[in-house]
Amino acid sequence: MFYSTNYQSPIGEMLIVSDGDAVNGIWFYSQKNFKSTIKEYIVEKEDLAIFKDVKLWFDNYFNGLNPKIDFKIKPMGSEFRLKVWKRLSEIPYGETLTYGEIASEISPTMSAQAVGGAVGANPIAIIIPCHRVIGKNGKMTGYAAGIDKKIELLKLENILNDYARGGCCG
């Protein structure tokens, strides 16, 4: 059984899903793969302790802080996707990596496109920071919730300010 609550972020309403112990999904209502894997098993339940922790994390994040994740996350996916999502979780606040860089870290024969597929299927928006993955030469490429949201998140972390000054992050 999975439980859900809503969170109104400054860039759009979000759904937070938990099994009661860990966060299993966070989606913007507008994103492509919204609730695709567990939608028929979700019961709305606002009062879980983990939801309070996640909402506080988001409040701090959207106020320009770099809060520590002190709750469990448990995304569901293939071994490959879990490996990519773990790597995304290691990208520091305010930094970026390219799809190609992640691919080459995983395997010398891995394609950036394969990594892109896993990044696009990330079920835990922002907390698993797929918005910190950019295309070759700093190009802003795909984000399941829309490039506009990706840009806002990168601005919040002062990443786009570095690009404006001619620098590169990551």
Q: Which helix (H) or strand (E) holds 33?
A: none
The H-assigned helical ranges of the chain are 49-62, 79-89, 99-106, 112-120, 147-156, 159-164
Per-residue CA distances from 60 to 1, 46, 56, 57, 117 (Å) = 29, 19, 6, 5, 29
User: Tokens representing 69?
Assistant: 């994740």
Catalytic residue among 73, 121, 130, 145: 130
Is residue 143 packed enough to be buried (19+ CB in 10 Å), middle (13-18) or exposed (0-12)? buried
Going by C-alpha positions, the residue among 117, 82, 122 that lies closest to residue 99 is 117
User: Tokens representing 1?
Assistant: 């059984």
Q: Quick check: is 169 catalytic?
A: no
User: Tokens representing 73?
Assistant: 């996350």
What residues act catalytically?
130
